[in-house]
A = this chain, B = another copy of it.
Amino acid sequence: MATSKPSVEPLVIGIDIGGTGTKFGIVDRVGNVLFSGDISTKKHKQVETFIDELHDHLKVLIDKAGGVGRMKGIGVGAPNGNYYTGTVEYAPNLPWKGIIPLAKMIEDKFKLPVVLTNDANAAALGEMMYGAAQGMKDFIMITLGTGVGSGIVANGHLIYGHDGFAGEIGHTIIIPDGRMHEGTGKKGSLESYASATGVRLTALEMMKNTKTKSVLRSFKPEDIDSKKVFEAAIAGDAVAKEIFEFTGKILGMALANAVMFSSPEAIILFGGLTKAGELILKPTREHMEANLIQIFQNKVKILVSHLKESDAAILGASALAWELQ
């Protein structure tokens, strides 16, 4: 029996840290996620126990994939992750407060080089390397999850800003004195409307402020989430459709402002809310166009990421690691 010669092709590890859960995987050069897993972020009050659990899980995958010697490095996407310093700073959606030297901690634990950026920047790199933004030099990635993240690519490069924190479109103020964001204490930011959390809050407000019949009224307020709103909307529920209409209006205004800032070829949307399809895309597109001055109108594509959601976050984070020397 012939033994197959072990491949020496290098691999990278991608780790995507979200407010709720963390996904990780081992990825090859062309974007195959060879092994993957996930753990809870939320349950770890201490970052140390989080890294221990992450290492325990990844160790098994690394061994399956040929051992640590085959790994080129680790790319990490995390909210408020700083590319220059490798730290996560004051992330409103993470359980760990203050400034966390996450890249250093992971490097010490795994004995591999680590590069870190914010999760949406990582997602943008993933789209540029493997997804809808292949070949583009100017685009904006918007992730619509628990929060709203963004990564801005101009002239082929991510904009990191002077301190590594550029690309926080989710926190730009769209409605002055608008809805309070519990995490940041700021009012009227994009994230307070166009996230899963925001859709839930819009639903609760609409139930309170209108008398219109809706299937959503059959749930307890604490049980209403963006998924239930989505299901009601595709079943034709008028209030649920109105919720997406309103969410798209706010998102469209924010996208118009982003377009007038960096004039991208396309905006790539990713995340749970995009599952609502035209229910959210139509008002988003309409309100974006309505707020653009003439030179920007009818030029900018709004695209939905076609990367598999379970892989996309890992691919984005892994894309960072290929840049390691």
Contact = CB atoms under 8 A, between A and B. Distances in A.
Given A171-B293, A173-B253, A299-B163, A261 B261 contact: yes
A163 B139 CA distance: 12
Contacts of A174: 176
Interface in A244-289: 253, 256-258, 260-265
Given A173-B253, A253-B173, A291 B186 contact: yes
Contact of A173 (B136, B257, B262, B295): B257
A321 to B, nearest CB: 21
Given A155-B160, A168-B293, A295-B89, A173 B261 contact: no
Contacts of A136: 162
A264 to B, nearest CB: 6
A138 B161 contact: yes
A157 to B, nearest CB: 6
Given A89-B295, A159-B263, 18 more contacts: A80-B295, A90-B294, A92-B293, A138-B166, A152-B261, A154-B159, A159-B159, A161-B263, A163-B263, A164-B263, A166-B261, A166-B262, A168-B293, A171-B293, A172-B257, A172-B260, A186-B291, A261-B262
Nearest to A300: B162
Most chain B Cβ neighbours within 10 Å, of A92, A166, A168, A260: A260
A91 to B, nearest CB: 9
A314 interface: no
**For chain A, what secondary structure do more than half of its interface residues adopt (helix, strand, loop), or is it mixed?**
loop
A277 to B, nearest CB: 25
A103 B154 CA distance: 24
A167 interface: yes
B168 A159 contact: no
A175 B80 CA distance: 27
Contacts of A228: none
